Chains A and B, each alone.
Chain A
Amino acid sequence: MKKALLSTILLLMTVLILPHIISPFMVYLSTEILVFAIFAMSLGLIMGFGGMPSLGHCAQFGLGAYTVAILSEYTANIYLLLGAAILISLCFSLVTGYIAIRNKGVFFLMITLAFTQVLFLITSRMKFWGGNDGYSASVTANFGFGEITSNIGLFYMMGFFFVLTYFLLKLFVNAPAGKVLKGMMENEGRMIALGYNPKTYKMFAYLIAGSMAGLAGGLYIYKTQFVSPALFSVHMGAEVMIMVFIGGMGTIFGPALGAGAFVFLQNYISTMTDRWPLILGLLFIAIVLLKRGGILHLIQFVSTFGLKLFKSSRNAPVDKQVKGKEQAS
């Protein structure tokens, strides 16, 4: 609890300070990163803690986006809009989850992909809402204290939801339900023998991840003002999966880092070369081949290694060294 609170406060401070030290373009870019961070963290929950690799997690994201875009014609109340986005993606998760969680591994992957493809086809034929060309919405965020129009305002808005999501996920994985979920991923047979119903916990995680992705989708509209069936494409589903991978699976913050790296590479390196997917691809291959986890794991490894070096160079007494090692591990 203390740890979760501490890291959340640290994250909150970073979000508060960041826009004042980076360039306006980076603020603009970071807003997108924060949205995708929420999205990637939600997938990271079911992939890294539940062993459910969903290639169709963009379905909930896209549904959230479409919900806000379509309903914004009728209301501008952001609470209602985001609430609806969460609700719709929750309902979708309820139906698809019921079928999907009965499967494991590749089958889970294919089934979630199939659901997304259905949405892709439906939305691309929905002429009324733009069909293949997509649908422009004009939404302005207003939480009751003025309209948020500036880039920094949007950044703070996404930042708030990002920190909130992070905190909730952090609580979840340390609470009994999260521990049971992890146990289920490690050894389902044993969990059943201990009296746990695997479906309950998987469904729980799937619903949480789904509604968080819906929230992220809803927020996404406030930045892009545009939805299209591309949100439901395989591409999108794979992209967010790659974010989780390169960030570090099995951690909460890792996928967020992955989202950052991904969006950064996509936008920054593409100004230098058109071949940015090549660099991303190489990074992805390296991470999969090394099998040591993602960026976050690398940071953890370097920091513990550095700490050890620092401790031993100070020629500390033996008992202190042992203590340091314990803390590091």
Chain B
Amino acid sequence: MTLLKIEDLNKSFKALHILKGVNIEVNKGERHVIIGPNGAGKTTLFNCIYGTLPLSSGKVYLAGKRIDHIPSFKRTEKGMGRTFQKNNLFEELTVEENVRLAIMGKKKYRLNMIKPMQNYNDLAEECHRLLEEWEMTERRTVLVKELSYGEQRLLEIILSLSTNPEIILLDEPTSGMSPTETSRFVKLIKKIPDHITLVIIEHDMEVVFSLANKITVLHHGTAMMTASPEEIRGNQMIQEIYFGGGALSHD
């Protein structure tokens, strides 16, 4: 079943044509990785899907419904979550407060002006469960700016998970991590339940091939090819444009 469908998406900044008619279909439960050289338009594509940037033309469907005309926060209500390439958290708040804010986004009482936030038991329970699940309980009272980089990356994912999404757009989840951190982090990403669809932008080929069950190659603003990891690995043309004709290793 197609969950996310991108149809003939164009995006240009004045004369600069970044995305030229991108077509991608993402099925439910898929781990869909988008690869492509720097400047291929990967993050722009995410921003267009999520509505951070307006489209120049084209259509975006989520579960069969067009979403390209509704504001970003409504896309979150409809089940789309995202993480950011650079950590984008509430640095002055504690881990717990971050998660609570995230969970509260889908609660009716988020507009309540009287009852203190810490008095909502369901909020506290959900927050506790989520932190327990991701082994962050011990760090719950720490200010986010005092967390390690890896922990902050993890919190990015926890926050996007706490909105109960059907699909999450992960923008370079392992960027800026050491190899050891990366491999530990990939294990964590694999822990995300199967019913949640993931669309991932990633540069690290090891990460790509250990997570993906579908890969789209974005090159000069067009989706050149969407195929299984094995096909991508075997494709000579892809090897040349993306890996410079060399081996599959990444720096």
Contact = CB atoms under 8 A, between A and B. Distances in A.
B133 interface: no
A31 B162 CA distance: 48
Interface in A182-197: 183, 186-187, 189-197
A198 B76 CA distance: 13
Given A174-B117, A176-B112, A193-B81, A186 B93 contact: yes
B72 A176 contact: no
A193 B90 contact: no
Contact of B52 (A4, A175, A189, A198): A189
A284 interface: no
Given A1-B119, A194-B159, A196-B105, A186 B91 contact: yes
B116 A204 contact: no
A109 interface: no
A246 interface: no
Interface in A125-173: 171-172
Interface string B60-86: 000000000001111011000110100
Interface in B95-135: 97, 100-102, 104-107, 109-120
Contacts of B72: 192-193
A176 B93 CA distance: 14
Most buried by A among B88, B102, B110, B111: B110
A179 B98 CA distance: 10
B185 interface: no
B73 A176 contact: no
B113 A175 contact: yes
Chain B interface size, as a band, is 35 or more
B50 A190 contact: no
Contacts of B117: 174-176, 179
Given A180-B101, A195-B77, A175 B90 contact: no
Contact of A197 (B73, B81, B82, B119): B73
A180 B101 CA distance: 7
Contact of A175 (B50, B93, B105, B114): B114
A62 interface: no
Contact of B76 (A178, A193, A204): A193
| Secondary structure of the A contact surface, majority rule | helix
Contacts of B119: 1
B89 interface: yes
B152 to A, nearest CB: 12
Contacts of A191: 73, 101
A101 to B, nearest CB: 15
Contact of B163 (A180, A183, A195, A200): A195
A172 B113 CA distance: 5
Contacts of B107: 176
B76 A187 contact: no
A195 B92 contact: no
Given A176-B104, A196-B73, A187 B89 contact: yes
Nearest to B119: A1
Contacts of B106: 195
B112 A194 contact: no
Interface in A175-230: 175-180, 183, 186-187, 189-198, 200, 204, 208
A193 B160 contact: yes
A178 B90 contact: no
Given A183-B101, A194-B102, A194-B105, A176 B90 contact: no
Given A190-B88, A193-B50, A194-B159, A177 B113 contact: yes
B105 A189 contact: no
Contact of B101 (A194, A198, A200, A208): A194
A1 B119 CA distance: 9
Contacts of A1: 115-116, 119
Nearest to B164: A195
B88 A189 contact: yes
Interface in A234-264: none
Contacts of A194: 73, 76, 101-102, 105, 159, 162-163
Contacts of A197: 71, 73-74
Given A175-B116, A183-B90, 6 more contacts: A172-B114, A174-B118, A175-B113, A176-B110, A194-B102, A195-B105
Interface of A: 1, 4, 171-172, 174-180, 183, 186-187, 189-198, 200, 204, 208
13 contacts: A174-B116, A174-B117, A176-B104, A177-B110, A178-B113, A179-B97, A186-B92, A186-B93, A193-B72, A195-B74, A195-B76, A195-B106, A198-B73
